[in-house]
Amino acid sequence: MNKMKVVVGLSGGVDSSVTAYLLQQQGHEVVALFMRNWNDASVTLEDECPWIEDSNDALMVAQKLGIPFQVIDMSDLYKERIVDYMFDEYQKGRTPNPDVLCNREVKFDVFMKTAMSLGADKVATGHYARVDSTFDENGKEIFHLLAGKDNNKDQSYFLCQLNQDQLSKALFPIGELTKPRVREIAKEIGLVTADKKDSQGLCFIGKVSLPQFLQQQLVPKEGEIVEIFKDSPLFSQEIPDFSSKEEELEFLSRKIKYKKADGKVIGKHQGAQFFTIGQSKGLGIGGHKESCFIVSRDMENNIIFVGESHSFPGLHKKALKIAQSELHWVREDLKLKNGESMDVMARFRYRQELQQAKIYQFEDVFYMEFENPQSAIAEGQFASWYIADELIGSGVIS
């Protein structure tokens, strides 16, 4: 590999620290940038300010490696592109993934542009993923987003919205390594981040949890919890005869519209926007043999619908739908045309085992049908699809 100027997004964690070290070992000129994404102290937990702690750790790593370091403030952009979007989605009753958005809107967009303006050839992050390229018959370079080698840590899902241009400038040096090996390297070279715990919570506010963050921003409003029973006539509908595959997929991916009259009021909650499909904790419901799970939310009337047990019929679906405008192909050359379908492996949550599925493209809508019914498919989540270990596309579940 030729010597390049590489800007590393140094976050103050062990993964990005080892990323910077590996690039330096490969002989590249490495520059470290720390992104400050949040400056509203009113929503962090306790009195610790995680970004100060993280930027200090990042600075110490940069000093140890002897590479230039600077902090760039992205908090306005972050608020506008990530936080406002998230509130908007929650109020609509969808479940967004802030990490996927952060990569698409911040790290590989504005951050990448900033790095390029500093004369960088490439941008590197501490993601457990790999990028590779081949040439097609016309000599055009095609970039492949591959899963990280460490199955427990593969983060390709979080990068599912990147495009060819972004991948062409991205490096993921630790994608070939396992997490324990990354920690070992950090220890061997005496990095202060070697034993630092992985960051939990939101990718921008450090230690704050999503419900707490939302509660500080969205107004609580008391509503009812309605239990739907598994013998409800809603689940015993006869499956109609379909005149086309598209009609069948529309039926399989449909959302059941529950009404208060379909079940029984069993409790109260503080606002439907604080809950997500499939959630079972924090509902304060007693008197059931098994856990109750949220199966639907009526945002207009502020009602949460729940069903008892993992096997509750309203929790499972065989198909999901993605609007044409929310569809994204990492590999544009593999894009399906109207009427085409493809067998893939898919997931719609980080760390979910890959599931066998088939994707279908119709004139103005896209469907994914699973071999086995899937639990808790929530609107707003990203579904991503793979061929072997390559992520080729993704979209927002509608």
Structural contact between residues 301 and 269, judged by C-beta atoms closer than 8 angstroms: no
Of 67, 132, 71, 128, the residue nearest 103 (C-alpha): 128
Q: φ, ψ for residue 106 (rounded to 5)?
A: -115, -65
Select which of 49, 160, 203, 292 is catalytic.
Answer: 203
Both tokens of residue 245? 């595959």
Q: Positive or negative, the Cα torsion across 272, 274, 276, 282?
A: negative
Annotated catalytic residue, options 49, 102, 160, 292:
102
Is 160 labeled as catalytic in the residue annotation?
no
78 phi/psi in degrees, rounded to 5: -65, -45
Local structure of residue 110 (DSSP, 8 states): I
Q: CA–CA distance from 159 to each of 128, 206, 214, 332 (Å)?
A: 10, 20, 24, 15
49 included as an active-site residue? no
Q: Phi-psi category of 115—alpha, beta or left, where left has phi over 0 and alpha has psi -120 to 50?
A: alpha
Closest CA to 160 of 388, 8, 358, 381: 381
By annotation, the residues acting in catalysis are 102, 203
